[in-house]
Amino acid sequence: MRQTGKVYIVGAGPGDPELVTLKAVRLIGAGDVILYDRLVGKELLAHAKPGAELIYCGKAPGRHAMQQEMINKALVAYAQEGKTVVRLKGGDPFIFGRGGEEALELAAAGIPYEIVPGITSAIGAAAYSSIPLTHRGSAASFACVTGSRCRGGETGIRWDLLAHSVDTLVIYMGVSHLPDIRQELLAHGKDASTPVALIERGTTNKQRTVVGTLADIHELAESQRVKNPALIVVGEVVKVREQLAGLEQQALAEYGYGEMFG
């Protein structure tokens, strides 16, 4: 009787291939089958062993290589064949990664599985943009929320609470809905002067950061043609980026180097 394999649901980090755990690299090298997402760096797939089956199952807005139900069934089927399966997901599997759905499907089918966390884009992209999500004196809390469900007034997201209950808001998958998100926050009392950063392709060599306020960020996003994948950071911590840049320029002028602050 063939022994059931095991599935590893692995976080690949936010884009920079060096922001991945040693455990993730080891498992990629051990996988018989690797199902990988759109934002997984191709450099990570180079760690796969010869003969490993690589299956692209990425999702872009309006274009899904595989529907989630198909992915779930594939994980179960390959494991039932006795294979070691690696489900490689951008960021962290349990932060807007639908890793919980995949784990539930595996558990219901009696398939052994393990979750391997990864650096989520909120942490990685903000750090690479010199924006601390918490900062003494200005931010003691932050919340991560998806912006993809922002459709007019029926969002299912409590923007009225988020506008005032946390210091820093990090919004995933929200750039295409930025005017709606902005309007929700303003309608629920968020100050128009609140700093906002848009981080496009965070932690990659194509990273770009656009900074403005709630008053003008939608216009800046349009004029700068900011596209997904991008992250929205709302809060006073965005000002730290400018402060660090100023200090770096000062260090460059006074001491002749500008790498002090990363």
CA atoms within 13 A on the CB side of 39: 26
Q: Contact, 10 vs 27, CB < 8 A?
A: yes
Q: Contact, 71 vs 57, CB < 8 A?
A: yes
Q: If you search the block for the tokens 């998806």, which residue do you land on? A: 146
Instruction: Say which of 32, 37, 167, 180 is annotated catalytic.
Output: 37
Residue 103, Cβ density class (10 Å: 0-12 exposed, 13-18 middle, ≥19 buried): buried
Instruction: Say which of 16, 89, 167, 173 is annotated catalytic.
Output: 173
Concerning whether 59 is annotated as a catalytic residue, the answer is yes
Residue 253 has which token pair? 């002028």
Q: Which residues of 121-144 are buried (b: 16+ CB within 10 A; e: fewer)?
A: bbbbbbbbbbbbbebeeebeebbb
SS3 at position 99? helix
Instruction: Say which of 59, 66, 73, 239 is annotated catalytic.
Output: 59
Measured between alpha carbons, how far is 143 from 146 in angstroms, rounded to an integer? 10
Those residues whose C-beta lies under 8 Å from the C-beta of residue 227, and which sit 6 or more positions away, are: 175, 200
Measured between alpha carbons, how far is 247 from 258 in angstroms, rounded to an integer? 9
Measured between alpha carbons, how far is 221 from 236 in angstroms, rounded to an integer? 19
Catalytic residues: 37, 59, 173
